[in-house]
């Protein structure tokens, strides 16, 4: 199944919590205007390496050093997927 060429990310999804209550500010945002295929390929790479690092974290005696890397890669991959899904909704938000 191919996606139409005009199908791009919205730039609506943010990630990387910070601030006092850890949910009121976000450090990063998915960029608007990225073609779906490019965005999904990037998300796939991020999630693959999050998986590899989380397995290392689980199996290695000193695995905790991989935990935050895996967490952040997973968060980035999820943000891309969430933004693509929002863009696919007929009445989704406007591009940022």
Q: For the residues 3-23, what does the mean pLDDT come to?
A: 81
- CA-based torsion, 91, 92, 93, 94: positive or negative: negative
> Of 1, 9, 28, 23, whose CA–CA distance to 92 is shortest?
9
Is 4 among the domain residues?
Answer: no
Is 20 among the domain residues?
Answer: yes
Is 3 among the domain residues?
Answer: no
The predicted structure's pLDDT at residue 95: 77
- CA-based torsion, 81, 70, 16, 24: positive or negative: positive
Instruction: Provide the residue range defining the domain that includes 25.
Output: 14-88
Question: What six digits make up the tokens of 41?
Answer: 């390929």
Residue 5 has pLDDT above 70, yes or no: no
The predicted structure's pLDDT at residue 1: 53
- Residue 4 — very low, low, confident or very high, per pLDDT cuts 50/70/90? low
Number of domains in the chain: 1
The predicted structure's pLDDT at residue 88: 92
Is 6 among the domain residues?
Answer: no
Is 50 among the domain residues?
Answer: yes
Q: What is the tens place of the pLDDT at every residue in 16-67? A: 988 777 777 888 999 999 999 999 999 999 999 999 999 999 998 888 888 8
Is 69 among the domain residues?
Answer: yes
Is 39 among the domain residues?
Answer: yes
């Amino acid at each position: 199944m191919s996606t139409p060429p005009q199908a791009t990310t919205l730039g609506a999804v943010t990630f990387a919590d910070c601030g006092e209550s850890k949910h009121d500010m976000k450090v990063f945002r998915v960029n608007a205007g990225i073609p779906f295929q490019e965005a999904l390929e990037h998300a796939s790479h991020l999630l693959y390496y999050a998986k590899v690092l989380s397995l290392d974290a689980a199996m290695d005696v000193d695995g905790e050093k991989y935990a935050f890397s895996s967490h952040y890669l997973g968060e980035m991959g999820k943000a891309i997927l969430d933004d693509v899904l929002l863009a696919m909704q007929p009445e989704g938000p406007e591009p940022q």
